[in-house]
Each structure stands twice: as C-alpha cells, then as structure tokens.
C-alpha cells in the first residue's frame, strides 16, 4: 500500500473515531465519583469538542462538493446559453440581410448561403457556397447581396453550390444605364472589372450606375451591377460604345450571399 493510501486511511479512521467519541461522550457519558470524575471531565469535554469539530469539517467538505457540482452544472448551462445566443445572432444577421435585399431590390429571397471558397485556379471567377439542393437551391437562381449583383448558380449538390460571378469570363449580363436610355451587355473582365458594350448613342460618363436590365434574361431587372469608371474612345465605324465598369460587390470579401427565386 502506498504512503498516500495509508495517510488517507489514517485520516478516515481519525474522523470516524472523532464522530464516535462525540456520540458516546454526549449520549452515554458515565457518572464517575468524586475526584476521578473531576480529573476525567476535561477528557470527555475535549472528546466531545473534537467530535463536533470533525462533524463540522465533514459537513463542510460535503457542502463544498455539492457547491462544486452545482458550479459545474451552472457552467455547462451557461455554455449552452452562449452557444444558443451565437446561433440566434447568426440567424438574426441572415434574416436582416435577406430583409435588406428585399427592401432594396424588391425580390424574394430563397436562402441565405455562406461563401466557403472561391475558384483556386484563377482562370474563372466563381464562388462556392455552403448550401445546396437540401436548402432549396437550384441551377439558374440569381445570387445577390444588398450592394448588388453577384452572379448565378451553375452547379448544385445536396449541400453545396457553385456561383458563376459577374466577373467570370463566361458571364453575360443584360444591363442598362440607371436613369438614362441605353441597353447593353456586361462581360466579365477578370480580375476586377466588367466590360460593358452599349449603343454608341448612349450618353454616359464615369460615375454613372449600371443595373441589370434584360427583362427575359437570367437576372431580375434593376439590380445594381456596377459603376462606370471609364468610357473608352469610340473608333470610327464602331457599332458599340465600350465602358469599363467596377462591380458593385467586392467579391473577395463576401462571407454570405442571398439566393433569389429564378425568373
């Protein structure tokens, strides 16, 4: 037997002895005659006090154990409440984002999806979402934020989806000038711009807003696409005026997007 075990056994024995002495001296202390009783009285008193102290110590030990157990229980409940609060905060943020899209763009939101990755090859500008058909996503659904148009879903699995963004070289978005006549097509021009071809007669200048405008296209009309940064000179005989447009949404910073009902 180890020294620690021996010490523990001795401590338990002393505690039990103290309790026994306290009980015996209080309930069945003998009546002793004369001088002997006077000499032994302090011993019984010490034994009684020892027993009371031991009982109080044991009670305190068990009380502390109960308090520790209660503290652990309360800490576990507090952790659960914190996790629930985080979940509710995230849900509230998603609902607010969907409400902003509906308020700004007047469109129905199918789902709010997290952005989990982008195209690693650098050849395309595509986003990967942490939501898929299980969350109601389908190929052809427009993807947007309150700031503007992001792209369209081109691939879907049960729990993931791929978005072809407006910057992708394969992207084509029907657009128009906000507040002025002029329709055209916006082409992805990676890494960070759109190339818009519009009628040469259109009156446009840097700073003008470009919005989605094809009534029969993939995207609802009126969603902000970007801001004109440059109007390229028109060469003689050109059939189109070319604009360089900066997208309204900074795709590299997106954490979540709103997926809209398909047209």
Q: For 165-219, what is each residue's pLDDT tens digit?
A: 999 999 999 999 998 888 899 999 988 899 999 988 889 999 999 999 865 578 8
Reported CATH class of domain 172-248: mainly beta
pLDDT at 32: 47
Nearest to 198 by CA among 214, 210, 182: 182
Are 184 and 198 spatial neighbours (Cβ–Cβ below 8 Å)?
A: yes
> DSSP assignment of 107-157, as one string?
--EEEEEEEEEE-SSSSS-EEEES--GGGT--TT-EEE-SS-EEEEEEEE-
Q: For 215-233, what is each residue's pLDDT tens digit?
A: 557 888 889 999 999 999 9
Other C-beta atoms closer than 10 Å to the C-beta of 58 total 14
**Is the N-terminal amide bond of 254 cis, ω within 30° of 0?**
no
- Same fold: 104-166+255-259 with 172-248: yes
pLDDT at 51: 63
Domain boundaries, the chain: 1-103, 104-166+255-259, 172-248
- pLDDT category, 73, cuts 50, 70, 90? confident
Helix, strand or coil, per DSSP, at residue 257: strand
Report the CATH fold assignment for 104-166+255-259.
Thrombin, subunit H (2.40.10)
pLDDT at 108: 77
- Token pair in block for residue 168: 């992708």
């Amino acid at each position: 037997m180890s020294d620690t075990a021996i010490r523990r056994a001795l401590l338990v024995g002393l505690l039990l002895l103290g309790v026994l002495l306290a009980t015996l001296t209080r309930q069945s202390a003998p009546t002793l005659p004369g001088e002997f009783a006077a000499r032994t009285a302090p011993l019984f008193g010490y034994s009684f006090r020892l027993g009371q102290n031991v009982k109080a110590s044991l009670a305190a030990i068990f009380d502390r154990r109960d308090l520790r157990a209660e503290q652990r229980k309360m800490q576990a409940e507090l952790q659960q409440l914190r996790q629930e609060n985080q979940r509710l905060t995230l849900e509230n943020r998603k609902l607010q984002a969907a409400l902003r899209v509906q308020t700004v763009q007047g469109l129905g939101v199918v789902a709010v999806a997290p952005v989990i990755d982008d195209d690693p090859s650098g050849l395309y500008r595509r986003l990967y979402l942490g939501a898929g058909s299980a969350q109601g996503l389908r190929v052809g659904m427009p993807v947007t934020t309150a700031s503007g148009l992001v792209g369209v879903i081109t691939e879907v699995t049960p729990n993931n989806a791929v978005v072809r963004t407006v910057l992708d070289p394969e992207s084509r978005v029907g657009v128009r000038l906000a507040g002025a006549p002029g329709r055209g097509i916006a082409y992805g021009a990676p890494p960070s711009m759109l190339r818009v071809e519009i009628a040469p007669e259109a009156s446009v200048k840097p700073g003008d807003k470009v919005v989605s405008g094809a009534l029969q296209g993939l995207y609802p009309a009126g969603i902000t696409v970007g801001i004109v940064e440059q109007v390229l000179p028109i060469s003689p005989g050109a059939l189109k005026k070319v604009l360089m447009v900066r997208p309204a949404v900074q795709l590299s910073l997106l954490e979540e997007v709103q997926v809209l009902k398909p047209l």
